[in-house]
Structure 1
């Protein structure tokens, strides 16, 4: 067989080399047929029994979680259990069987497809990719219905038992990931997924090379094919020639050596060659992620995405997490960080990511009622979150971060609601930090261009580069037709970044970057040269960024960066940034 290359989305660094192990998709084997009236209740019972069995499987997986399992796995299994309990999954397919006389598999798939289509309309990339969780739950039930629940039965037949296994699948659920922990699991390749899919998050937490969004990889790769995953580039090479295989083995060995060196930097302070201290913080989705943040040497949490607490509640619009439930999560995070600051972003959800997937989505959701706009329109929900965060601030340093602010009245309304939440807690004799710091996400160009509004009212700023780039360039980077236009080094983006950092320094308020640019080592020196002194990123990226900082000298970076900011042509900017890295 001739060698060929596939291109997908890089989500986890490193190189994996091994034999392909294909996981078949149960959805591909499903038969569609109509049943008679007399068969309806028997078919309903068959589907109910399959759902109950999957519930038992998930409970068993949860009970057997190894002590060293990443915290993400347990949380994602909880999410899958919630989805499975949702009436949209546990009841609607039964109604389809009764009303349309579909067989159980067909009814379930019909409902899964309908829900997936609704999630496709969601603008936010993280939430849009939650449709994969619904599909993974459906796949698990289908495997019970079709009798194909064992996914690793043919692993022992691999002709080379010493070769590491590279799992190839249409998609992989977090629960299924546990099956590979005690095996020679080198990496994985999936047709579905993106930067924020659970598959990607688990890959980063396990520090396993992965390439997702490969479209038809599971159809093109054959069982036991030799494959190479270049996790840094999102490239998969199938049946590589011997010379290519040898080159990648050398690169793999080099990366292993480099990672061992990086691990020695955990307790080294992040200080540039000229003596400037830099704060390196971690982004988390779950309180349990704090362990990975501390292990990587983070000096705090720069972004706690609180919307994860609201996930997995499809159809549960009237069952939002209570104030007490949120408080326990925030308290868990702040106590885990042992005195290091935890920045909690208030709910970043809205019309484009409805609490109930049956709700209509906005025609242009990215510009609609989302984030702080949604929270101000739902004051009861927002007040519960504010009180929960304030209560947790009694147990350690918390900073409150407000997303998508653009107008002075939005800031003033938010501050008034925070003051009201404080008053309610005082009346209830609840402890909180009365001096809690309040900051704004700078992710709308209007905010970056009107910084005095923010500097006069708030304590700190955090630049969300993902949305700032999207809004500045009017590009949805997960839309493959325009993704090539998404460019962090566009001169307009660099202007907004540099002026925001400079305005913060002038006003004497801290500025951090918590978007993907913060964890990109190719851009570390550029951001340092702009004056950035606080980076927040995924814990797995922290040591690589620290290494860049330790080798940087601001006395030479600052003047070079000023020259870059005067450039307008893409080629010139790219070349200058590359020279900055290698200088």
Structure 2
């Protein structure tokens, strides 16, 4: 078929327009549609299946046995048609019977057909039917034919909804009406607690008219909507209440880049060319995006696609002239926002005084909305499955992200317990805040260094707020992860300089970029690594950076220029062997020499360190220590490598115990040579931020911790009640002859010694 996608769809839509306008029955219209589709795609079969009474019923066909109409049914997930509807996905097969989900229905007479292509008929984000074509000769349908099918499916959605042909439950979100208390579990994205009534974000506008009367008029509507949307984003960036600068500002820059993307506007224009209205054209492109998202394994890339979905929703609302979101209507009381997902700009539209929390069906730690929410100070619970089935608009909610729980329609006892916990949390924060200016010195006079981990420009403020000794780990990769393109050296330099300026006279340890593996970047080609079965142990961190020498040279020069006139601390991640450290250090020294030759101002000193995350490095520490200025142990990766246990796997969680004798013995074996060599040793990671685990680390002789800002207060409180000599002696005995339950033994010892753990 030698036609563009737009021309192919338009040819069919012109004929469909007449069918929809005719005063005939819905059945007659659907029969006519199958004939038009079969003719337009030169296909021998075209069939329409509709979701009725919970099953997919063959409702109209051209090419299959007419006796099968209203007789043949398939359950959701059954056969190719059921699979398309259940997964809301497209199938395009040259040999249908070879697909594992193929189900033969003899009454249809389909045994002579080999090719099969089908698309879901979508209404309000749910499949309410399937449009399928078949052909006797084995062949895959061309992309333009699939796009034409998807466009026809949009028109069919309007037709069948207006005719009332599908289950009402299929086009409305069902929820059991209940006044009973419910508890919804989720995933901690942004810590905090909040109480309020449930408010649905409601970002979707449901398209009522799909076929355009005047293509040029629709195009003008889209152009006007694009202009308004871009103006909104410009104003939003200027008025963000958490101020200018920081990664959230860079996120809005990237978001704005999507809004000005010519490829996106061109695809919408092509959809209008096919004969769709402005709203339907935007929705058509958005559906394609959603289907691509289902095929994307990379969570970071999926998060970027969510930004594009957010923009599509915004554009549809503008072009339709409808408000459509709770933000634009306005929050009337303290509220907890409920949404499938949110774009960063959508969150910024809400009144921070009324917005007490957000609950998402999806969401991730690297999503832009998470970063912006953290900057706004809004607690966020993610991955709350089926939230809309359990929560109605106006339901009273209690959100406790710390315990990863949402309480729906709470009892009075729950409310009292929540208020008590909130008051206690505030009291404890006040107590920890009182320790801000107090040094973390043990009861027997030993000074422990407590630093914070950071990755955002705004995180540096935590040093002053918590009274930490500096930043023991600044993750430089975050700037790379939120950017649509490789950050320019000048942009990197600005970030590093801002961080050093904000830290003042307190040290900052910059870890060079740790990307690759499970932190893949869409703008870097990862073909050399292939499809990684275990990305955590794959082509990432220093391994990737040494191969991508240009990337590391740019970062080295940016760091050296930013550190001019100060001490610069640089740490290399995932060092496995001494030669890797040597090569990385040489890149920095070459850049320092290059800048010196050109008369540039340099750091007063560059201190080089390594992260011990790969257990193999422990076997060659005697070779590496003489070259190091400091050493940091990354307990998160190190522990999963030692246990061969993925720390994200729920079934392996019990094996991932930082107080296992094997872990503690390993750390003791690393600590001894570092102390003998006079090399400062720190622990960076969650282990150091837990009071009981930190107690064990101090007992091993590790007195430098780099932890999350929220953990600084509890760790300081623990340190100031601890006798270091006593725990050192106790740990030596336990490691020599480990008790059956070392965690329990350590907890009992702390209680008897009066060490504050809570």
TM-score normalised over the length of structure 2: 0.67
Q: Quick check: 1:351–1:362 contact (8 Å CA) kept in 2?
A: no
State the partner residue of 1:4.
Answer: 182
| Distance across 2 between alignment mates of 1:284 and 1:45 | 47
User: Quick one: which of 565, 576, 581 aligns to 2:745?
Assistant: 576
State the partner residue of 1:111.
Answer: 289
Distance 1:144 1:10, change over 3 A: same
State the partner residue of 1:143.
Answer: 314
- 1:404-457 CA distance string (max 9 Å, x none): 110222122112222211221111211212630011111222224432243132
Distance 1:229 1:576, change over 3 A: farther
- 1:286-333 CA distance string (max 9 Å, x none): 33432233222222221222122223443x3xxx22222222221121
Larger mean Cα displacement after TM superposition, 130-139 or 413-422 = 130-139
* Structure 2 SS opposite 1:436: strand
1:345 aligns with 2:511: yes
Larger radius of gyration: 2
| Distance across 1 between alignment mates of 2:275 and 2:473 | 47
- 1:38-80 CA distance string (max 9 Å, x none): 85x7767666655554432222112112366894543432342
State the partner residue of 1:190.
Answer: 360
How many residues of Structure 1 are paired with residues of Structure 2 in the alignment?
Answer: 563
Larger mean Cα displacement after TM superposition, 140-149 or 406-415 = 140-149
* Aligned residue runs from structure 1 range 171-570, under 5 A: 171-180=341-350, 182-202=352-372, 204-205=374-375, 208-314=378-484, 316=485, 320-350=486-516, 352=518, 353-356=520-523, 362-364=530-532, 365-433=535-603, 435-479=605-649, 485-565=655-735
Q: Quick check: 2:183–2:405 contact (8 Å CA) kept in 1?
A: yes
TM-score normalised over the length of structure 1: 0.85
Q: Quick check: 1:43–1:104 contact (8 Å CA) kept in 2?
A: no
* Structure 1 SS opposite 2:418: helix
Q: Quick check: 2:477–2:515 contact (8 Å CA) kept in 1?
A: yes
Q: Quick check: 2:199–2:326 contact (8 Å CA) kept in 1?
A: no
Query: 1:231: how far off?
Result: 2.5
Query: 1:263: how far off?
Result: 1.6
Query: 1:383: how far off?
Result: 0.9
| Distance across 2 between alignment mates of 1:99 and 1:580 | 74
| Distance across 2 between alignment mates of 1:369 and 1:32 | 49
Q: Quick check: 1:488–1:494 contact (8 Å CA) kept in 2?
A: yes
User: Quick one: which of 60, 63, 86 aligns to 2:238?
Assistant: 63
- Structure 2: stretches of 5+ with no match in the other structure: 1-178, 754-758
| Distance across 2 between alignment mates of 1:337 and 1:264 | 21
Query: 1:261: how far off?
Result: 1.9
State the partner residue of 1:125.
Answer: none
What root-mean-square deviation, in Å, do the aligned CA atoms of Structure 1 and Structure 2 show? 3.4
Distance 1:289 1:247, change over 3 A: closer
| Distance across 2 between alignment mates of 1:222 and 1:416 | 60
Report 1 or 2 for greater relative contact order, CA contacts < 8 Å, sequence distance ≥ 6. Answer: 1
User: Quick one: which of 302, 309, 313 aligns to 1:131?
Assistant: 302
Distance 1:366 1:429, change over 3 A: same
Q: Quick check: 2:289–2:305 contact (8 Å CA) kept in 1?
A: no
- Structure 1: stretches of 5+ with no match in the other structure: 122-127
